[in-house]
Each structure stands twice: as structure tokens, then as C-alpha cells.
Structure 1
């Protein structure tokens, strides 16, 4: 573990560097003037409060724009946001943290609304903060307004009431823009307050399909999946405890390993966070030795030597979460943590004790070969990893696997292995 911490400490200076991720885009300022340049685009799980803009990538400094100072901004092929000055609801809607009655509280300010659908009749937008996600409708070029939705307790924590005002608002839009579609009014009554459901209704109001959706990060040709394969080596330190405070021993094995898997990006453009599913094959054959100087009941000195050996063939399945501390196109520096499901097979298991008495006593030494212990075929462990990715193709990594026992419990006996892994991955595909 100390090597992983040291490696991570060495990478920390990268974190202090700029985390800019500029993409080509434009902003429309308040007098309808359009500025073409580059926008610092991030993985906005909540709507941005401001943006950084450069007219050229060579500019050392960027200009900061807030919702009150521009009309809108667009990151080409990725995202679009509209400035909105008005009120947003502040009632809680996420179960079980609900108000005990209707909550009509609101907040007045300027915000960036994310553009989901921009149609001939209406546009669908959203605003997400730490409280919840709200959906907005904009008719033509008019001021956007929020689709109302409330969920609250009425009398007890088991009696939940819904105020689906947004259903009436959508029905009113249908009456104005899509009277001929008689099936829509029935469909709208089963529309949930979710992006996919409301988007479907808005597309029908506009007479379009989902293919006409506003450009998002999933439409830019980049895949959300990335496959990789790699190899490396493993230094495994195995420790066996036969009885508490009586007989402890350890042995180290250095062996090659291979691994492969896939990465799933929450945002394939930004690539700040990702989920990794990795499989790896490894092998260890430790020789665990221990020597103790003891005496018999008659105070005769002797030495007890124990040797425990076995072969372990291990398949590791590791789901893990990765966070890029430094996240440029040509260089990424990350840390991750994961849970490991180990599937193991064992051969040549042997536990031998050898008693050596002092030469002065001429007593025949005794050798005892204990029967094999029950080792777990499936067991769980945990890992931490740091790494560097060069040009989106080559990854160098260090990994530490926390010791976990895989000896079936037998009154104080334990067998566990700590793994220190290092290696290289190669990434495939368009990412």
C-alpha cells in the first residue's frame, strides 16, 4: 500500500495544473452578437454557474461569463445552454426526503438551462442542482417556464401525495400545437416527470422524432465504451498463521499476469469519471517458512521448522471506479478503488513440520506432514490503483490488493496474500 501512496503523492502536482477541457463553441451575448471560440467543457452533472471562454486556444487567459451576462452558449456537437432569469421551485421531490405538505418555495436568480430538445413549436430544457432536476418549456422565443411537480407527505410518512401540474401544462401545449393527434392526450396522462418521458411528448408536439434531439455528447461519434488488454507482474506476499502467537510465516512470489476489460464513460467527451470492469489471470506458488527455538517439558532445546507450500491459480473480476485527477487529451492521471471477486484453484498443497534437536542429545528428528487445509474457491478482496494514460492509448499503473484471508475458518488459522501489481494497458477503439 505504501508504494501506491507514494506513487499517488508523486502524481499530485498534476492535480494542481489546469483542468481545462476546451472545445470549439460559441456564445451569444445580450445584444445578439455571436462570439466564436472555445469553451471549457466539463462533465456537468449539475448545471454550470459560469463558463470560461477563449477566442483562441493560444490565449493564456480566459473570459468568464455568467447567465446574466449572455443569452446562450453552445459547445459544438456536445451541449447547449440558454440563459434564464426567473424563479425555480425549491420543494424537495426525492423520496424519502419529502416535505410534510405542499411546498411552494422558490428562488429568483439567473441560471443556465440545458437544452434537451429544440423544436419548431416548443423547446424542452432542464435545470439540475444539488436539490433536484426541474424541466422547463420554452414556446417559440418566449420566456421559459417550469413544469410543475410536487411529491409530499400528507398526514403520515406512508401517505404520499402527488401534484402533477406538469400533466395539465403538457395537455395545454397539445391543445395549442397538436390538436389533430387525439391519442396524445391519453398518452400524456401516463407521462412520468423524467427526461425521457417528457421528451417523447415534446417531440410529438413538435411533430418530430427522437432523431431530431438536440446534439449531446452521445451524438459525437465517441463511444461510451473502451476496451483494453494488458500485462504486467505481481509481487505477492503470503502470510500463514497456524495458531495465535505460536507459528507465523510468510513467503513472497513474483509472477507475470495478464488482464483485459472495458471502461464505461459517464461522459465520453470529458472522461472525468468512468466505471471499469476488469478481468485478470495470475499465479502464485509461495514457500512459507517459519522457525522457532523451543524446549521440551524436560527443558531439552529444539528447533521447530514449518514449511507451507501451495500453487494458486487465480481469476480476478474487478469492478472499479476511476477518477481522473488530471484530465487532458494527451495525458490523464487517475486514482481508483475496486472490489475484487477472486475465483481460485489450488494444487500441490503441503504443510510440513520438521523437529531438530540439539546434536548433543542424539535423538532422532521427527517430520510431520499435515493434511491439506481447506482453501476458498471464491473470496472477496479490495484494491487501490493509480495510473497514467498517454495519448488515450497507453496506460501505466500500480495496484495494491489489500490482504484478505482465503483459508476456511479453523479456530485462529488464517492465510492471506497482499498483492503489489504493476503493468501496462493498451486501449482499443475510438475514444
Structure 2
């Protein structure tokens, strides 16, 4: 059962790949009219060749391509413009390299993702099955050109990779062109990586503006609610028999976490690192005369992967899976057997039971977010808190509560 649940949660992203994900946005058509509505935004590494658009959430969808649209955008997140550009064909990954430099290219009309727009230049990116590329366009120009980075194998040594980073010289030229009162040297670019972050930073210098990387990719999440805890025995022990009854204890619980996403929090998949506090009083399991009760305070640290099964700008429904490490302190740890004695109060034969302070587990997560307010539930199936050979003592946790997202 445990494996089935994990498998189902891991399959959710794959099962939902074909689902629509309409977010508020717009399309600019070839007559330069801006059509406001909803964009079917797909969180993909590759740049899409077409996008679906609705003027109303329940309306008919229209398909726009780089041939019949000047661009499109998702409000507060991603922006794309269409251009007919030259696209280099040479691979940069080791497994696709050839002997000698590959200068081949093709022309195509494609959507380019806007990374930064400024008074002097605009930086774009375009990714296909071959590689990621960056483009730059001066505001007086009509067409972006590719910032070239090539890799190839040496003719006399096919295990040696040679690099040609023309993009550094291209960016240096643009800097000198637009910043004539500032000296820039080739040595300033020796460590310039071919990454989105560094392209944005260089563009910011050329444009004389602060770095803008779009919507932030993290947020703080704080919540509170009701936590529950329960004990369970397995193996050779009277408290593991069929007649055993577990009493669940309830207490307030709080949690704080940070959400991360690869690009922005508009993505379907996001990651959460969360620290929770659980408390339990008289958490116990009984079976006739046998009893084990304990009070505990537990800190629970969990990294999670969460997936928005339903995702709009105002409403998200998510499910996910997390790993957990708990640290618990125990008090009133009482285990043993109540023995009836005639004409006197019952005696209690106490048995020393040691519980582990640290333990590993996993958890299942579901939630609904209405803008900044999130309702969520976290279920941690029973996990081992003992180290005995003949039986196991397990603790289970659950949290149901409300969170506030500091976007």
C-alpha cells in the first residue's frame, strides 16, 4: 500500500502533462492588437512553437504561432516575442560534439523569451532539442542576433573539447557601443558564464539599470493548525495484537517553510522546505491490562516536491510527497501491565521502553491555495521510533491547517 501511494504521487506530474493550465495573459497579433485573456502556459524547458489562448476561461481556444502573432505574455511572469532569426545547429553537450567547429545554422521564425528589456538592448533566450541559446537586439535594430558559444572536438585528439566563446566579444562590443564613457576590457569577461543569470546581469549594465530577473522564485510560508499523533506496535508484543487500541492526541501545531521553483512560482512544480512543531499529551496504545503512554514534543524537518494539479493565477490545487527527519523529546514515558490485587488498588508492573529521539519518515501532502491563503493537510504514516529486535514502536503524525504565503 505504501509503495502504491508513493507511485501514484510520483505519477501525478506525468498524468497531468496534457492538462490545460490557463493563466491570465495576452497575445499581440500581427496587426499589433493586444488581445487580453488567458494563456495555456506550459512549464517546459524548450521554447514552445505554438500557444493556446482564450479570451474567457470557458471560451473557445485559439492557437497562435510565431507566424500569426508578434508575441504573448503571462501576467507578471513570462514574455515572448516572435522573430525570424538565424539559429546555430552545433551541439554543446559532449555526446553531440563533432570533430572541428560546426558553423551550420538555419533560419526560422520562433518565439524568443524576453529575459530583460531596457533602453539600449533586449536579451532573449531560445531553447530547442539541441541547446539553449541567447540573443541580443539593440533597440535601433529590427532583428536579434545570436550570442554564439560553440564546442567541438580537436582533430588530432577526439577526447579533447575545444571551446569558442564568441558571445564574450559580442557583449563587449555592445557595451562599448552604448557605454562610451566607460572602459570595458576583454579580461572583464574571462569568467562570464553562458547562463540566463549572467546574461541578464550584463544586459543590466548595458542598459544602465538594476538587474531584473522577473518574478521571484521563492517565498516564505507560515502556518498553524491542529496536529495529531498516535502510537502503534508491530511484531511480538501484546500491544501489537488485534485487540490493541490506539488513542490519538491532538494539540496545536505550527510550521514555517520556504517554497522554491526552477524559474518562477508560476510553474506547476515547486519545492518546499518546511519545519513543523508537533506536541502530544497522553499519546497511548492499550490492550486490556497492557498500556504504553507518552508525552512528546517533535520538530519535523521535511523537504517536499509539490505539483499544482490545477493551476491558475488565483487558485492552485496541489499534491506532493516529502521526506522527513524528526527530533523528539519525551516525558511521562510509561509502559507496562496493570495487575489486579484483591482488596487493594491495582499494581502496575512498569517496563522500561526506550524511544529514539531522531527518526526518518516520509509524508503525503495536499492543499488548496486561494491567492496568499493556503489550506493544507500533511499525513506522515507511522514510522519507527524504537530499536527492539522482536517488535517495533511506531509514531504517526498529521497536520491540518492554514498557511499564509508571503509572495
Whether TM exceeds 0.5 here: the answer is: yes
TM-score class, shorter-chain normalisation, is: 0.7 to 0.9
**Structure 1 residues 103 and 312 mapped into 2: Cα distance closer, same or farther (>3 Å)?**
farther
Q: Could you tell me which residue of structure 2 aligns to residue 320 of structure 1?
A: 304
**TM-score, normalization: structure 2?**
0.77
Shift of 1:368: 5.3
> Do the aligned residues in 2 keep the contact of 1:277 with 1:320 (CA within 8 Å)?
yes
Is contact 1:151–1:160 with CA below 8 Å preserved after alignment? yes
Map of 1:360 onto structure 2 = none
Within 2, Cα distance between the matches of 1:328 and 1:199? 27
Question: Partner of 2:352 in structure 1?
Answer: 371
Q: Look at both structures and tell me which one has the larger radius of gyration over its CA atoms.
A: 1
Q: Distance in 1 between matches of 2:265 and 2:239?
A: 55
Q: Which residue does 1:272 correspond to in 2? A: 268
Q: Higher mean Cα deviation, 263-272 or 321-330?
A: 263-272
1:202 counterpart SS class:
helix
**C-alpha distance in structure 1 between counterparts of 2:339 and 2:123, whole Å:** 81
CA deviation profile, 1:258-312 (whole Å, cap 9, x unmatched)? 1221342536663633333332323153443458xxxxxxxxxxxxx64433333
- Listed as ranges, the gaps of 5+ residues in structure 2 are 341-346
Cα distance in 1 for residues equivalent to 2:231 and 2:203: 60
Secondary structure, aligned partner of 2:22: coil
Provide the residue aligned with 2:182 in structure 1. Answer: 181
Q: Residue by residue, what CA displacement relative to the aligned partner does 1:229-283 show, whole Å, maximum 9, x if unpaired?
A: 221242524124357xx98345342323412213425366636333333323231
Contact 1:174 1:185 in 2 (8 A): no
1:93 CA displacement = 3.6
Taking a change above 3 Å as real, the CA distance of residues 89 and 416 of structure 1, as seen in their structure-2 partners, is farther
1:361-400 matches, cutoff 5 A: 369-373=350-354, 375-390=355-370, 392-395=372-375, 397-400=376-379
Counterpart Cα distance in 2 of 1:80 and 1:275? 23
Match of 1:405 in 2: 384
1:40 alignment partner in structure 2: 39
Q: Which residue in 2 is equivalent to 1:202?
A: 203
> 2:253 maps to which residue?
258
* Conserved 8 A contact 1:81-1:113: yes
CA–CA separation in structure 1 for the residues paired with 2:279 and 2:348: 32
Pairwise CA RMSD? 3.8
Q: Which residue is 1:192 aligned to?
A: 193
Quick check: 1:418 aligned with 2:383?
no
Q: Equivalent residue for 1:110?
A: 109
Alpha-carbon contact 1:265-1:275 (below 8 Å) kept: yes
Q: Please say if residues 229 and 283 of structure 2, whose CA atoms lie closer than 8 Å, have aligned partners that are also in contact.
A: no
Change (3 A) 1:121 1:102: farther
Alpha-carbon distance between aligned partners in 2 of 1:388 and 1:26, rounded to the nearest angstrom: 29
- The 3-state SS of whatever aligns with 1:285 is strand
How far the C-alpha of 1:204 sits from its partner, in A, is 3.5
SS for the counterpart of 2:201 is: helix
Shift of 1:17: 7.9
- 3-state SS, counterpart of residue 186 of structure 1: helix
In 1, Cα distance between equivalents of 2:290 and 2:100? 72
The Cα of 1:53 is off from its aligned counterpart by 3.1
Report the CA distance shift for 1:311/1:178 in structure 2 as closer, same or farther (over 3 A).
Answer: closer
Partner of 1:183, secondary structure, is coil
